[in-house]
Structure 1
Amino acid sequence: MRFLTAFASFFQQRDLVLETCQMLIDDLSDTTLLDLRIEKASREMNAVAAVTKKHIAQNAETEQDQEEYDQKHHALVQQYEKLQQQFTKLQQERAARINRMDTLHHFLETISAVPQVLDSFDEELWRATIEKVTVFHDRKMIFQFLDGTEIQG
């Protein structure tokens, strides 16, 4: 029952919610800058890998002070690992954006298809629209919808 009340309150703002969701989806779908950062990180990793490979080959071909070699090799490995961490973080950020975009797109489709009056609990609607529900000790409930809207139920 509380979900129905919260949803009815939420649904009064349907047009605004639909417009806001579409704007969020449009914003999330533009990964151009993120893609450029991923590409740059990849190029930098490849450059460090090439320098490391050359450094190893040079050590195999000519006699060198091994302590100096080890220090430079260690520095190159650290540089590569740092770049790899940045690259992985950027890829995860991109995947999270796309996942959020897909979730909001499903949310938008679901909200668009809901009838004006909801008279019974709909489990599919619940799963497609509710991010979380916070229940307090005094039985007050806060419903957080996927678009971020919070409504007390």
Structure 2
Amino acid sequence: MSARLVCGQCGGFYGSKVWGSNTKYRRTIWQCNDKFKGEVRCATPHVTEEVKEKFLRAFTSLLEYREKLVENCRLAQKTLCHVKDIEEELEELQQEKEMAAKLVRQAIEENAHRVVDPETWQESYKGYLDRYQQAVEGIDQLERQKKGRKDKNREMERFIKHIEKADETLTDFEEGLWVLIIERVTVLIDGRLMFHFKDGTEVQVHHLEETPFHSIQQKEQVTMQTG
């Protein structure tokens, strides 16, 4: 769970610790890895295996709005995961890259076969190289954005399928489900947990001895936070 638990105060990850390792009271807890670093200690509490039960409660709360949630996920896919605009920009930059490369080759050929002013030629040559490099860097950046959107689309598709097939009476913690649909879980100073699902939904869960769960969304509707 460590890779998903985040301190709500400093933003650092939680790590597992063993308490009472040589006693019958041995148990594993998770606490902020940076809790005792620096002058100011993080006030967020440690958490125990009860995180798993809270996850089940948070996940169950999502299923109350299953149809609306899937609808919003589909809308988010169309809005956030499309790549047509990126592909159009890539095509333009590819053309710019080819043109700049052509100008570089022409400049080299000109310098080899004609008498040119060195300073003028160097200035032009450098300008062509700069154009080429900017195009290459722009293409690399857009390719990363394209990959990120496609990865997000696949991630949301898997999320949707699990929501559609999920059993409303899920009672056992499943590590695979946890990894698949949880982006992160923020541990707040008062002990509440904020579950951030990979579709953008956030669900807040209080201590188990208090209310079973409390979703930050209104009960009447599910509001997707896709920003």
Q: Which residue of 2 aligns with 1:20?
A: 72
Percent identity between the aligned chains? Answer: 26
Q: Which residue of 1 aligns with 2:157?
A: 105
1:87 paired to 2:139? yes
Pairwise CA distance, 1:29: 5.3
Distance 2:191 2:80 in 1: 36
CA deviation string 1:65-108 (max 9, x = no partner): 11111111111111111121111111111111101001111111
Distance 1:110 1:9 in 2: 14
Q: Which moved more, 1:65-74 or 1:49-58?
A: 65-74
Pairwise CA distance, 1:129: 1.2
Q: Which moved more, 1:5-14 or 1:35-44?
A: 5-14
Contact 1:107 / 1:128 at 8 angstroms: preserved in 2? Answer: yes
Q: Point out where structure 1 has 5 or more consecutive residues left out of the alignment.
A: none
Q: Which residue of 1 aligns with 2:121?
A: 69
Q: Using CA pairs below 8 Å that are at least 6 residues apart, which structure has the higher relative contact order? A: 1
The 3-state SS of whatever aligns with 2:103 is helix
Distance 1:7 1:116 in 2: 9
Aligned partner (choices 97, 118, 121) of residue 173 of structure 2: 121
Scaled by the length of structure 1, the TM-score of the pair is: 0.93
Distance 1:93 1:110 in 2: 26
Q: Which residue of 2 aligns with 1:9?
A: 61
The 3-state SS of whatever aligns with 2:186 is strand
CA RMSD of aligned residues (A): 1.4
Pairwise CA distance, 1:23: 2.2
Distance 2:178 2:80 in 1: 23
1:137 paired to 2:189? yes
1:152 paired to 2:204? yes
Scaled by the length of structure 2, the TM-score of the pair is: 0.64
Distance 2:138 2:189 in 1: 43
The structure in which a higher percent of residues are helix is 1
Pairwise CA distance, 1:139: 1.5
Structure 1 segments, 4+ long, off by >6 Å, are none
The 3-state SS of whatever aligns with 1:8 is helix
CA deviation string 1:25-46 (max 9, x = no partner): 3445542222111011001110
The 3-state SS of whatever aligns with 2:132 is helix
In structure 1, give the amino acid aligned to 2:165.
A
The structure in which a higher percent of residues are strand is 2
In structure 1, give the amino acid aligned to 2:170.
L
In structure 2, give the amino acid aligned to 1:65.
D
Aligned length, in residue pairs:
153
In structure 1, give the amino acid aligned to 2:126.
H
Contact 1:6 / 1:151 at 8 angstroms: preserved in 2? Answer: yes
Distance 1:79 1:44 in 2: 8
